[in-house]
């Protein structure tokens, strides 16, 4: 290497050493503050803030299906169940409610107990039998996973007969063809108990036909049966349908028999079917009655039951517009005669409203 090149290389090495030395020197301290000045914190450069992640759109609320178990399409439960479904759909977000026709009370208890339905119309006597494992539930375990939601209105036991069938009393049903209610219905229980109170069984009838209200109405019009038991609010659409083309009579029940029936079964009470309730029937008719109520599963969500109870009473006009029995559904009587424990969701609403 020439002397000139040697000197050039040495200069380059010295420059590299100086640069490296400067890079390792600590930053010079800030000058001390002047008298009376507040010391400044050393400046620290913050990293740029991260952009928050974009919000994902909220998932839609899960649809809650609410089946309302009613009874035959010709009875009172069915239109009232439709009114309830309408109220729930319009007032409880996320609810998809639907009224379904069933065999009524006894079947409905089974649907509630097995959680196959969320709300059911049931006669209060049938509810009590299920709760205590008596009468039509005597050969089964008591059903205690059901809860009451509300008491509704009187269910009148109506014995409807063709005017030319020669029937004027319960005893006159002997030897006649009689519809005693759909299998598993509260009507069938009432028919059996009322006949028993008069010393009769189904064997005393020419035919005990297990028909729904609409089926009984059709068979009355066609004269395939002579009479029918109908436990429902007055007026009942199935009975009114019969009166459009046929003459009928409503059979009275002896008040003494009603009283003795109530001694055995405390849910029965004496009521009067007002004159003019059905075409061609111009006198008051004395007969027994029980009460309609709403039953729900014990496990049903408390908030859902609270909202169903609240919306039912706050939107009661929809029920009234559907059937005049809606006038009997009142908040102040919602617990009168309740035969079982009330669901916590319904109780919360009643507590808020001061109902006992």
Q: Both ends of the chain: CA-CA distance in Å?
A: 113
pLDDT (tens digit per residue) in 69-107: 999 888 889 999 999 999 999 999 999 999 999 988 999
Rounded to an integer, what distance in angstroms lies between the CA atom of residue 312 and that of residue 173? 40
Assess if residue 88 is contained within a domain.
Answer: yes
pLDDT given for residue 114 in this prediction: 97
Assess if residue 206 is contained within a domain.
Answer: yes
- Tell whether the model's pLDDT for residue 131 goes beyond 60: yes
Assess if residue 266 is contained within a domain.
Answer: yes
Assess if residue 275 is contained within a domain.
Answer: yes
Assess if residue 50 is contained within a domain.
Answer: no
Backbone angles phi, psi at 260, to 5 degrees: -70, -35
- Using alpha carbons, select from 177, 192, 183, 255 the residue that is nearest to residue 223: 177
223 φ/ψ sector (left φ>0, alpha ψ -120 to 50, else beta) = left
pLDDT given for residue 12 in this prediction: 54
Question: Are the CB atoms for 53 and 72 separated by under 8 Å?
Answer: no
Assess if residue 138 is contained within a domain.
Answer: yes
Range in 9-13, 99-103, 133-137, 148-152 with the lowest mean pLDDT? 9-13
Beta bridge partners of 120: 69, 295
3-state SS of 251-311 is: CCCCHHHHHHHHHHCCCCEEEEECCCCCCCCCCCEEEEEEEEEEEEECCCCHHHHHHHHHH
CATH number at residue 277: 3.40.190.10
pLDDT given for residue 56 in this prediction: 47
Please tell me the total count of domains within the chain.
Answer: 1
Structural domain boundaries, residue 239: 64-353
pLDDT given for residue 224 in this prediction: 97
Question: Are the CB atoms for 272 and 157 separated by under 8 Å?
Answer: no
- Tell whether the model's pLDDT for residue 19 goes beyond 50: no
pLDDT given for residue 140 in this prediction: 87
pLDDT grade, residue 337 (50/70/90)?
Answer: confident
Assess if residue 40 is contained within a domain.
Answer: no
- Tell whether the model's pLDDT for residue 182 goes beyond 70: yes
Assess if residue 43 is contained within a domain.
Answer: no
Beta bridge partners of 211: none
pLDDT (tens digit per residue) in 306-322: 999 999 999 999 999 99
pLDDT given for residue 68 in this prediction: 98
């Amino acid at each position: 290497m020439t002397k000139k090149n040697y000197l050039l290389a040495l200069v380059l090495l010295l420059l590299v050493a100086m640069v490296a030395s400067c890079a390792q020197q600590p930053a010079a301290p800030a000058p001390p503050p002047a008298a009376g000045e507040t010391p400044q914190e050393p400046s620290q450069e913050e990293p740029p803030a991260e952009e928050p992640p974009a919000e994902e759109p909220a998932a839609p609320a899960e649809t809650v299906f609410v089946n309302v178990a009613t009874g035959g399409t010709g009875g009172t439960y069915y239109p009232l169940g439709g009114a309830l479904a309408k109220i729930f759909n319009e007032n409880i977000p996320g609810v998809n409610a639907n009224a379904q026709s069933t065999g009524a009370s006894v079947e409905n208890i089974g649907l509630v107990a097995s959680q196959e339905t969320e709300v059911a119309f049931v006669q209060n006597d049938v509810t009590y039998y299920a709760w205590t494992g008596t009468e039509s539930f005597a050969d089964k375990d008591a059903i205690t996973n059901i809860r009451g939601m509300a008491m509704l209105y009187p269910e009148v036991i109506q014995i409807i007969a063709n005017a030319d069938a020669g029937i004027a009393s319960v005893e006159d049903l002997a030897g006649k063809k009689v519809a005693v209610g759909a299998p598993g219905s509260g009507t069938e229980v009432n028919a059996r108990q009322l006949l028993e109170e008069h010393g009769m069984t189904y064997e005393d009838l020419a035919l005990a036909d297990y028909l729904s209200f609409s089926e009984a109405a059709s068979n009355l019009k066609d004269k395939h049966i002579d009479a029918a038991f109908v436990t429902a609010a007055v007026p009942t659409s199935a009975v009114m349908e019969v009166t459009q083309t046929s003459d009928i009579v409503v059979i009275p029940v002896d008040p003494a028999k009603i009283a003795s029936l109530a001694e055995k079964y405390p849910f029965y009470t004496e009521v009067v079917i007002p004159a003019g309730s059905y075409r061609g029937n111009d006198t008051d008719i004395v007969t027994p009655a029980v009460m309609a109520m709403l039953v729900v599963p014990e496990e049903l969500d408390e908030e859902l039951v609270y909202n169903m109870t609240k919306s039912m009473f706050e939107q009661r006009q929809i029920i009234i517009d559907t059937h005049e029995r809606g006038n009997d559904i009142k908040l102040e009587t919602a617990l009168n005669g309740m035969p079982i424990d009330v669901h916590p969701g319904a109780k919360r609403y009643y507590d808020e409203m001061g109902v006992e």
